[in-house]
Structure 1
Amino acid sequence: MGLHLPDGPVTLDDVPRMRTLGDVVELLGVATPLYVRFSAGPEKDSTTVSRDHESGCELPGLSVNPLDPEPWWDRPVEHWVARQLCQYAHLLTPERFPWALTGEIVGRGPDCEPLLDATVPVASIDRAVVDEAAALYECVFDPGNDGT
């Protein structure tokens, strides 16, 4: 999969569509760092700001979740990506969907999530990918185990 983004503003119409979890993992091999955001999309996000819902504070960038595994991660990349997609899957609605992006980290949000500015959409992510990630997550993780 070659990643060729056009010059100028990029929309989701300009980027590849990820239809499987394997597609997202393959994308990490050609574009990094990558993040996932659940929202109405980059066009809408270009005219809005992220807010901390509890305090109402405006955040300096868009809230995202990293798709690149941390250096300490010793499991398959697919497991990391599945976990990251599942962390915010509750935000998936008919109006909000996941999409992959890159950008400049300008801070951390209240959940220590990266906040990005100068964002560039890299791919759209189908709902089927989130469903596949949820199925894998249930098989390979121990959800709700807090170590006690």
Structure 2
Amino acid sequence: MEAELPVLTSLDELAKVVERHRGELYLRWSRGPATDQGSVSRDELTGVELPGLSASPLAVEDWWADRPLPVWVARRLYDYRHLREQRGPQVRPWLFEGVEVGRGPDNEPLARCDRPLAWIAEEVLIAAERTVADFHADWGPLDRGGGR
């Protein structure tokens, strides 16, 4: 299944997928659809099985207004890039079409994967980090280190 998925190689390409997509589109960081098929996420603190996969929705919110779509998708990729560092180098981002089935303990969407769509290439992650750095002054502080 995973070998058959196309690979998106630019932020613009990813933005075009988001723009054209009519259904619910999600970004997931994991070892991929073959590993996730038929499974659900677990709450890391308690071990409780959740009703779906933890994922980031890519639908653009109204408050984003007419800001650039590539910046929106860059931010969505940027927010969870730490998962690769926490869970190992086999963890990478991929897109799927699905339906939200609940909310997790951190209020994150839990979704059912109806159709895997694409892998996100490493160069897209690099471009996302650059994009966030370029807009950092406008967005205010982005402390994703977890320390206080």
Q: Could you say whether these structures have the same fold, taking a TM-score greater than 0.5 normalized by the shorter chain as the test?
A: yes
* Structure 2 residue aligned with 1:122: 117
Whether the 8 Å CA contact 2:96–2:113 is kept in 1: the answer is no
3-state DSSP class of the match of 1:29?
Answer: helix
Say if 2:6 is the partner of 1:16.
yes
The Cα offsets for residues 50-89 of structure 1, whole Å up to 9 and x where unpaired, read as 0111121111000000112111112211111111101110
Equivalent position amino acid for 1:116 in 2: A
Shift of 1:30: 2.4
* Structure 1 residue aligned with 2:101: 106
3-state DSSP class of the match of 1:83?
Answer: helix
Distance in 2 separating the partners of 1:118 and 1:21: 22
* Structure 2 residue aligned with 1:76: 68
Equivalent position amino acid for 2:97 in 1: T
Shift of 1:118: 4.1
Question: Residues 124-139 of structure 1 correspond to what in structure 2 (within 5 A)?
Answer: 124-139=119-134
Whether the 8 Å CA contact 1:68–1:81 is kept in 2: the answer is no
* Structure 2 residue aligned with 1:5: none
3-state DSSP class of the match of 1:106?
Answer: strand
Aligned length: 135
Could you tell me which runs of 5 or more consecutive residues in structure 1 were left unpaired when the two chains were aligned.
Answer: 1-10
Distance in 1 separating the partners of 2:120 and 2:90: 14
TM-score (norm 1): 0.83
Shift of 1:47: 4.6
Distance in 1 separating the partners of 2:64 and 2:77: 16
Identity in percent: 40
* Structure 2 residue aligned with 1:143: 141
RMSD of equivalent CA atoms: 1.6
TM-score (norm 2): 0.83
3-state DSSP class of the match of 2:20?
Answer: coil
The Cα offsets for residues 69-121 of structure 1, whole Å up to 9 and x where unpaired, read as 11111221111111110111011242100000111110011222211114310
